[in-house]
């Protein structure tokens, strides 16, 4: 069972949307028996405009798979990625273990125009900590660094960290957002644990590309 202390949570209370629109969600597949990864459903707002990133590769990059992710502020680093896709029931698959980071493969890769969505487990039902266990402790201004298969290194700056009830998840805001820039979304579970040992909320980190460079 998950402990009472639980993972760090964003400072703000969960955001509740006034209305909802249909869209993809991040929930465990019906036959998944390992960790709960997060859930989703809908409403969009416009993201704030940001200056063009400092980049020798252009403001937007071509598609390239991520090979590592780092968030120095919470001591996070991972090099294990798996693809996530929409299932027949309309939900998005989740990583099979707490050590994997899932990339929504029907969206942009990090650095491409639009929001690239990465999801991972906060923990397992037995309480084993997942790669995104400390995601709720991320703050505005923190940096997310991603290296890609094309040897580029990207830095995203965090704009917002929010918790949403799974029943009020802003699907459009997370999966669509502002297509005028390269953005990133990091998604996991959070909030209180219910009687079924499931988290009530999703924690979402929003960020935009602020620098890109090639590595040797």
- How does pLDDT run across 168-216, given as a tens digit for each residue? 999 999 998 767 899 999 999 999 999 899 999 999 999 999 999 987 6
Kindly indicate the confidence band of residue 131, based on its pLDDT and cuts at 50, 70 and 90. very high
Q: What is the 3-state secondary structure (H, E, C) of 137-164?
A: HCCCCCEEEEEECCCEEEEEEEEEEEEE
**What domains, with CATH codes, occur in the chain?**
25-214 (2.40.260.10)
Neighbours of 87 (CB within 10 A): 15
**Local confidence band at 112 (pLDDT 50, 70, 90 cut-offs):** very high
This prediction has a pTM of: 0.79
């Amino acid at each position: 069972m998950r402990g009472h202390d639980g993972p760090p949570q964003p400072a703000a209370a969960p955001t509740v949307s006034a209305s909802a629109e249909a869209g993809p969600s991040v929930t465990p597949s019906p036959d998944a028996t390992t960790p709960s990864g997060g859930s989703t459903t809908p409403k969009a707002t416009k993201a704030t405009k940001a200056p063009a990133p400092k980049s020798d590769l252009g403001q937007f990059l071509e598609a390239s798979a991520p090979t590592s992710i780092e968030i120095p502020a919470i001591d996070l680093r991972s090099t294990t990625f798996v693809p996530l896709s929409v299932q027949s029931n309309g939900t998005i698959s989740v990583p099979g273990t707490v050590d994997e980071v899932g990339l929504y493969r029907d969206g942009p890769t990090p650095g491409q125009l639009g929001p690239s969505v990465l999801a991972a487990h906060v923990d397992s039902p037995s309480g084993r900590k997942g790669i995104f266990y400390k995601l709720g402790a991320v703050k505005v201004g923190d940096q997310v660094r991603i290296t890609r298969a094309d040897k580029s290194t990207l830095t995203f700056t965090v704009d917002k960290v929010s918790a949403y009830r799974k029943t009020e998840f802003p699907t459009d805001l997370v999966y669509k957002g502002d297509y005028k820039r390269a953005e990133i979304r990091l998604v996991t579970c959070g909030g209180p644990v219910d009687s079924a040992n499931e988290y009530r909320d999703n924690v979402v980190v929003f960020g935009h590309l602020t620098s890109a460079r090639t590595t040797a």
